[in-house]
């Protein structure tokens, strides 16, 4: 697939540089031809082709010029009109289309689709949903049907996330490897997370990481992926060891490290100490001595251990952190975590002393009040994160 994408990108680039259809206006189907080229470039761009991304911007300007300078007869050609529908569903300028089609006629067979697409581009969500829901997809070309399914999913996602996920799956299946597939998988991760559909989240995340890790929208995907993955708790240990780590192995080593550290920090600040410890400990084992990654890993895992039953080990990890390698936010976190360690160990000594005096029959070393110590640690971490409720535990 990667070799195919690279070859396609190369061919497209050569075509753009040498094709008079793209550079010179006047062809009856100039709009359609330009839009088709844009679609191919968008597909290459979500696989990381930077040259394609540059050409997309130039050709979007070109097609706007084509539309603005076209006569009504050319705009009314159904092939050009369908291309303009793709343009609208891809974030095109609705004001330009409304002005250009003031006197142009739209074929009755696609008028509903055209007006619905225009409403979507104008941000009229309810009108767009009403019109586009009535459109029959039976006779539409694949590039329009896939985009229509994606847009409908976006429009209904808040009210019916389950139905939206189904539409996204259809769009991906219809146009695999394209920008529609990328957009559908990325939104699937978002909607599945919001509806707590872990199985769908896993499927869409795995496919996205495997196929679209070079997409220009990677950061948007990563934000939602990390946010939901950070909720995995002790009740779902297989998710971490059997799914999360193997899935991340498809990524470059540095990207894996960055994602695990981000996940550890998010989980820590949400009170999900188990996943924070797991992710932080994983990086601490592999990061180089004296590296910023190792210090961050020790910070997050050590802090998390204070909220678990590993206070002593957590304190040792915090002592190994090199403050000079941390940013200001993490440096503040370290200082608060160390203060917390001092507080809870002091409480432990006091509690232990009191129990030895008052409860002589407790099992050796297993003081009931140690549970209260852990609760104390959790409360302090809770104050540190600013959360009123501890999640994931």
- pLDDT digit string, tens, across residues 38-57: 999 999 999 999 889 889 98
Assess if residue 361 is contained within a domain.
Answer: no
Let me know whether 271 and 162 are in one domain.
Answer: no
Q: How confident is the model at residue 373 (pLDDT cuts 50, 70, 90)?
A: low
Report whether pLDDT(259) > 90.
yes
Domain match, 344 and 278 both = yes
Q: pLDDT band at residue 367, thresholds of 50, 70 and 90?
A: very low
Claim to verify: residue 268 and residue 335 sit in the same structural domain: yes
Q: In the prediction, which pLDDT does 353 show?
A: 45
Find the mean pLDDT for residues 193-214: 95
Query: Do residues 256 and 140 share a domain?
Result: no
Please give the pLDDT value at position 94.
96
Establish if 239 belongs to a structural domain: no
Burial 231-250 (b: 16+ CB within 10 A, else e): bbbeebeebbeebbeebbee
pLDDT at 364 over 50: no
pLDDT above 70 as % of the chain? 80
Average pLDDT over residues 354-370: 38
Per-residue model confidence (pLDDT) at position 8 = 47
Does the residue 191 lie in any domain? Answer: yes
The arithmetic mean of pLDDT across residues 359-383, rounded, is: 48
* Residue ranges making up the domain that contains 206: 136-229
**Whether residue 154 is found in the same domain as residue 130:** no
Give me the pLDDT at residue 360, please.
Answer: 35
Can you tell me the distance from the alpha carbon of 301 to that of 314, in angstroms, rounded to the nearest whole number?
7
pLDDT tens sequence across 137-191: 988 999 999 999 999 999 999 999 999 999 999 999 999 999 999 999 999 999 9
Q: Is the dihedral of CA 135, 36, 92, 184 positive or negative?
A: positive
18 vs 14, 21, 24, 41, 208, CA distance in Å? 6, 9, 11, 15, 33
Cα–Cα nearest to 104, from 78, 72, 71: 72
Which region among 11-15, 320-324, 388-392 has the lowest average model confidence (pLDDT)? 388-392
Residues 122 and 165 in one domain: no
- Between 112-121, 170-179, 316-325, 344-353, the lowest mean confidence (pLDDT) is in 344-353
Q: Does residue 280 register a pLDDT over 80?
A: yes
Q: Is residue 235 part of a domain?
A: no
- Decide which of 171 and 270 is more confident: 171
């Amino acid at each position: 697939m990667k070799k195919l994408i690279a070859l396609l990108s190369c061919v497209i680039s050569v075509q753009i540089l040498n094709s008079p259809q793209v550079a010179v206006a006047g062809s009856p189907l100039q709009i359609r031809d330009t839009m088709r080229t844009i679609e191919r470039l968008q597909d290459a761009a979500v696989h990381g082709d930077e040259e394609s991304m540059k050409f997309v911007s130039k050709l979007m300007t070109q097609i706007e010029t084509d539309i603005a300078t076209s006569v009504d007869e050319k705009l009314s050609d159904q092939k050009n009109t369908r291309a303009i529908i793709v343009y609208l569903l891809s974030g095109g300028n609705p004001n330009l289309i409304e002005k250009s089609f003031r006197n142009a006629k739209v074929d009755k067979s696609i008028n509903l689709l055209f007006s619905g697409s225009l409403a979507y581009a104008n941000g009229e969500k309810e009108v767009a949903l009403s019109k586009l829901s009535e459109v029959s997809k039976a006779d539409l070309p694949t590039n329009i049907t896939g985009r229509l399914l994606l847009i409908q999913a976006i429009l209904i996602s808040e009210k019916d996330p389950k139905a939206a996920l189904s539409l996204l799956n259809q769009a991906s299946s219809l146009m695999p490897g394209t920008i529609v597939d990328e957009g559908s998988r990325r939104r699937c991760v978002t909607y599945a997370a919001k509806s707590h559909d872990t199985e769908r989240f896993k499927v869409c995340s795995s496919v996205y990481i495997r196929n679209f890790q070079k997409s220009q929208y990677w950061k948007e995907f990563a934000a939602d992926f990390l946010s939901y993955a950070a909720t995995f708790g002790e009740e779902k240990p297989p998710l971490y060891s059997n799914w999360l780590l193997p899935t991340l192995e498809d990524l470059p080593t540095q990207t894996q490290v960055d994602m695990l550290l981000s996940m550890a920090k998010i989980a820590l600040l949400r009170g999900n100490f188990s996943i924070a410890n797991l992710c932080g400990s994983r990086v601490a084992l592999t990061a180089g001595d004296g590296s910023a990654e190792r210090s961050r890993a020790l910070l997050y895992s050590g802090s998390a251990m204070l909220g678990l039953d590993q206070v002593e080990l957590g304190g040792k990890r915090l002592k190994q952190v090199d403050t000079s390698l941390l940013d200001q936010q993490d440096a503040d976190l370290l200082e608060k975590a160390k203060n917390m360690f001092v507080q809870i160990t002091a409480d432990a000594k006091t509690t232990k002393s009191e129990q030895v005096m008052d409860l002589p029959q407790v099992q050796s070393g297993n003081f009931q009040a140690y549970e209260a110590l852990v609760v104390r640690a959790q409360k302090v971490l809770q104050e540190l994160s600013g959360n009123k409720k501890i999640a994931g535990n």
